Structure 1
């Protein structure tokens, strides 16, 4: 479903390729899907260099839309990445956070949907709305499909993957509570012990929207 949705999105908007990645922290991620070699190269470049629209979309919980990577803003914010992106054939880049159960219209992202264009062409307002809608749908598809051998299905239609759900939950809690990922892991373990539940079950609750506002302070 993720592959199908991503393919549909590229056909609907002004883009030439797409990638989907999930994060545990901004330095730990899994690349879920890319439409082509350029999208894969863009993902690797950002994590090698530690900068770029995909990382900032995740870090700051907001879309990043850059219709011309050769323009001043992109070069000023990501001088290394912008020039490398142009060299591999990406003249425009757009990144949208992946969230489930958004809070107050936002939510804590666990991944990013990223699109690129070979030409410096801006997304229209309609394209932007389309990308936001697909990002929400793809978020659910990613969680339900990743690692079917590790799937843990909750009472909803959203699944999580057994090996990655704890890391994703820690990243979400860290961002929401303003703490480090390591501290989030310590508190998640303590909460699981106190409630006599498996940590994977607690992590599943976090991914489903629970933030344990009082228990984690």
Structure 2
């Protein structure tokens, strides 16, 4: 049986996630996880995590719709992303026009429907010793993810978790937790950098992030380092040239 392009690309994605260097950028790794999920599955994607106080917060998302979807749940303290991160359990595909969704999340369900989200699923993100949170799969149109799609999402999530496990083995559990908290702090800087780029170059927030992420990769910089520079209104000439 011939190998399809999708199978080859997903194999490369798994290899990319699992083979990060010991000094990996946690935020960059988990953003790439959401990007791969959105690329290979009929979903948008986001990551919610447990911070060092045990509270759920969002870390990254594949796009602004996903980011808003997660933030709305945090604002309401209700929703599937929070449930999955707190329970440490996988969440099967749940339709937001179902009575099950309305009963579980009476305030969030109509908000999700109004935003065009029709269904949701979640995959736990954890290492052998640490429950970190969940990969959230957000469906805004048909088709719905199949069971095979959810299995692929689990494989991608496990690959990212393996990279974090290797990092933990190198630097220890406490350092891994500290780096996760640093990633949460870095998320704020990246949002600021996206805003600077969007305003300066008249881009959408999604376009601004694509530019930011692409330049970080092209110049082999950590995403957070580049975002900090841009948030301080220091825009690299090469990045501006790339945007023209």
Decide whether aligned partners of structure 1 residues 26 and 94 sit closer, same or farther in structure 2, where only a CA change above 3 A counts. farther
Q: Are residue 117 (structure 1) and residue 139 (structure 2) matched? A: yes
Residues 120-179 of structure 1: CA distance to partner in whole angstroms, max 9, x if unpaired? 5432121111111122223345688xxxxxxx86437986152656xxxxxxxxxxxxxx
Residues 60-112 of structure 1: CA distance to partner in whole angstroms, max 9, x if unpaired? 2211123421111111111111111111221111111111127xxxxx62211
TM-score, length-scaled by structure 1: 0.60
Q: Are residue 7 (structure 1) and residue 27 (structure 2) matched? A: no
Decide whether aligned partners of structure 1 residues 78 and 143 sit closer, same or farther in structure 2, where only a CA change above 3 A counts. farther
Q: Distance in 1 between matches of 2:142 and 2:103?
A: 17
Query: Could you say what secondary structure the match of 1:44 adopts?
Result: helix
Q: Are residue 65 (structure 1) and residue 92 (structure 2) matched? A: yes
Q: Distance in 2 between matches of 1:133 and 1:19?
A: 16
Q: Distance in 1 between matches of 2:52 and 2:30?
A: 22
Structure 1: gaps of 5 or more residues: 103-107, 145-151, 166-217
Q: Distance in 2 between matches of 1:114 and 1:136?
A: 14
Decide whether aligned partners of structure 1 residues 50 and 120 sit closer, same or farther in structure 2, where only a CA change above 3 A counts. farther
Q: Distance in 1 between matches of 2:172 and 2:54?
A: 29
Q: Distance in 1 between matches of 2:107 and 2:66?
A: 17
Q: Distance in 1 between matches of 2:74 and 2:165?
A: 22
Contact 2:56 2:86 in 1 (8 A): no
Match for residue 60 of structure 2? 33
1:75 alignment partner, one of 99, 102, 122 = 102
TM-score, length-scaled by structure 2: 0.54
Q: Distance in 2 between matches of 1:50 and 1:14?
A: 27
Decide whether aligned partners of structure 1 residues 143 and 42 sit closer, same or farther in structure 2, where only a CA change above 3 A counts. farther
2:154 alignment partner, one of 132, 150, 153 = 132
Decide whether aligned partners of structure 1 residues 84 and 140 sit closer, same or farther in structure 2, where only a CA change above 3 A counts. farther
> What is the number of equivalent residue pairs in this alignment?
153
Aligned residues: CA RMSD = 3.1
Structure 2: gaps of 5 or more residues: 1-28, 182-244
Match for residue 209 of structure 1? none
Q: Distance in 2 between matches of 1:26 and 1:12?
A: 33
Contact 2:126 2:161 in 1 (8 A): yes
Q: Distance in 2 between matches of 1:55 and 1:25?
A: 16
Residues 83-94 of structure 1 mapped to structure 2, 5 A cutoff: 83-94=110-121
Q: Distance in 1 between matches of 2:133 and 2:41?
A: 21
Query: Could you say what secondary structure the match of 1:162 adopts?
Result: helix
